[in-house]
Structure 1
């Protein structure tokens, strides 16, 4: 594919313009020309990147690749949350899956309109909508330009992984070279050097840096930092063992584990991954590392037990079902019986064990699914 960019404008001769020309020995700023040869006419690629400094012709190249209409600029309604605006004609589960795939796992953010989101949330919402609606060809301009570099790298990796699961070709235009290793693109055109690189069949040009984390066993004092990012408003777990995953000393994920009656099983709850790390795959790896500890008896009780984990997050449920180390053991569409819960709480209050407000929990629509960790080499999926 031959790309030819030629832009021109008026050559001004004002006093200041003439003085700038004289001071910096610049004849004119009226013309811009760029020639590029991009051998990408075939369909044997999924993600390409045009990278280079601002003003080097990336946007002009992007407009010529697939035509101006392929440049991804979604329009967002101001009177609807993003969960309604993304792929409204598709099934519900595809929308949370797309949001989670690009690391926008904050459920409260799903219930807000696009214009009130932060820059980082908007960046990921745009990518989630692209994944959910999935045009055959798309060009994403200013990719990762307006977000923190940590969010940019993790968001780039999460988007590329999710995009490759389906069909379509996406070209990312970026002035940041730090995202290249995380995108692992099939080809790269550098406008600063005028060079084109393409991976061999079955390979990629770059390799994503590995993400390793430390596993800390701690107490409930870490929970307040993670609580705002949990999709339920719950107090800290009583008599639980708390775990935190840390990358370079920075806490990035949290989970708490307690024993079930009879100490024949453990139950993991309060799994939270910080927003800037969502989409990196740390959450599931971290959860499984903790469950493996309990399976091996590495806990303060010294017991070797399997671990149960419950969630209503469609994306996480799908990931656990795909993993042979987990097996699904339950699924409920509604909460517990509200009347029975109210009576139980009243009895507990009469014994002085808790305060009773007269309310009961349950009866709500919430598809909670339960999974048991079986461990490495498990035969059941």
Structure 2
């Protein structure tokens, strides 16, 4: 596919324009020419990237590829939450899956209009709509240009993984080279050098960077940093130990572990992944690693225990069902009687078992689903 970009405008001759031409020896500012040879006519690719500095012709090439209609410009309603705007005629679980896939796992953000989201949340919401609607061809301009670079890299990786599950072709236009390794594109065209690269069949141009997640057992001292990103506001688990995952010393993930009566089973709760790391696949690997420790008896009790985990997050539920190390054990449409829970907690406080908080569990319509970690050996045979 040979593309020839030809733009021109009036050659102004005002005093200031003439002075600029004289000072900087710039006589041909009225014309812009760019020729590109992109051998991408076949359908054996999923993601391409046009990268280069501002003003180098990326947007013009993107438009010339498949026409202006292929440019991805989602329109968001001002008076509706984003969960209602993403493929409104489609399946609810598909919409939440798209949000989770690109790392927008913050449930409160789903309930807000697009206009009040942060730049990072808007970036991921736009990608979620693209994945949910899955056009056969799409060009995304200014990809990751207005977001923090950490969010850009993880968001790019999350989008690439999710987009490759569709049947479409996407061309991403970006000023930033730092996302290329995380996207692992099938081809890249650099407008600054006019160089085209394409991966061999069955391979990728770039290798995704790796990172080490270090896990430490802690108390609740790190929870205040994670709590704003958890979708429930509840008292801390009784007699729990917490685990925090860090990358290069920066906090990334958190979960708390306690036990059920009789020390026959562990219970995990308060799983949170920081927004800038959502979509990297950190959360489930983090949880699995700690559950495996408990299954092997690597805990403060020295007792091997399976782990019970409850969540109402649709994306996490789907991930747990896909993982053979987990088995689903329950699914409740709504919670128990909240007033009865408050009374039970009040009686427990009178016996000195816990402090009075005035809080209670239940009274909601959350579809809480329960899962048990059964381990690698059992899961592998299931």
How far is 1:297 from its partner?
1.3
Match status 1:194 vs 2:205: no
Where 2:376 maps in the other structure, the secondary structure is coil
Where structure 2 has 5 or more consecutive residues not aligned to the other structure, the ranges are: none
Q: TM-score, normalised by structure 1?
A: 0.96
How far is 1:28 from its partner?
2.1
Q: Name the CA distance, whole Å, in 2 between partners of 1:342 and 1:112.
A: 31
The alignment's C-alpha RMSD in Å is 1.5
How far is 1:338 from its partner?
3.8
Deviates more, 1:176-185 or 1:296-305: 296-305
Where 1:12 maps in the other structure, the secondary structure is coil
Where 1:211 maps in the other structure, the secondary structure is coil
Partner residue of 2:261? Answer: 261
Q: TM-score, normalised by structure 2?
A: 0.96
Match status 1:135 vs 2:135: yes
How far is 1:195 from its partner?
0.9
Partner residue of 2:5? Answer: 5
Deviations 1:303-341 (A, max 9, x none): 111111111111111111111111111111111134543
CA contact (8 A) 1:79 1:113 kept: yes
Q: Please give the residue correspondences for 1:207-286 in structure 2 after superposition, counting only pairs within 5 Å.
A: 207-286=207-286
Deviations 1:342-377 (A, max 9, x none): 5534544665755485x8542421111111112223
Q: Name the CA distance, whole Å, in 1 between partners of 2:157 and 2:198.
A: 18
How far is 1:238 from its partner?
2.2
Partner residue of 2:293? Answer: 293
Where 1:197 maps in the other structure, the secondary structure is strand
Q: Name the CA distance, whole Å, in 2 between partners of 1:321 and 1:249.
A: 31
Q: Please give the residue correspondences for 1:80-159 in structure 2 after superposition, counting only pairs within 5 Å.
A: 80-159=80-159
How far is 1:296 from its partner?
1.5
Where structure 1 has 5 or more consecutive residues not aligned to the other structure, the ranges are: none
Q: Name the CA distance, whole Å, in 2 between partners of 1:227 and 1:330.
A: 26
Task: Give 4+ residue runs of structure 1 displaced > 6 Å after superposition.
Answer: none
Partner residue of 1:316? Answer: 316
Q: Name the CA distance, whole Å, in 1 between partners of 2:282 and 2:360.
A: 36
Corresponding residue pairs, total = 380
Q: Please give the residue correspondences for 1:37-48 in structure 2 after superposition, counting only pairs within 5 Å.
A: 37-48=37-48
Q: Name the CA distance, whole Å, in 2 between partners of 1:237 and 1:340.
A: 19
Deviations 1:33-62 (A, max 9, x none): 111111111111111100011111000000
Partner residue of 2:59? Answer: 59
Q: 1:238 to 1:134 in 2, by over 3 A?
A: same
Partner residue of 2:15? Answer: 15
Q: 1:346 to 1:248 in 2, by over 3 A?
A: closer
Q: 1:152 to 1:225 in 2, by over 3 A?
A: same
Deviations 1:247-288 (A, max 9, x none): 000011000000111001101100000000000011111101
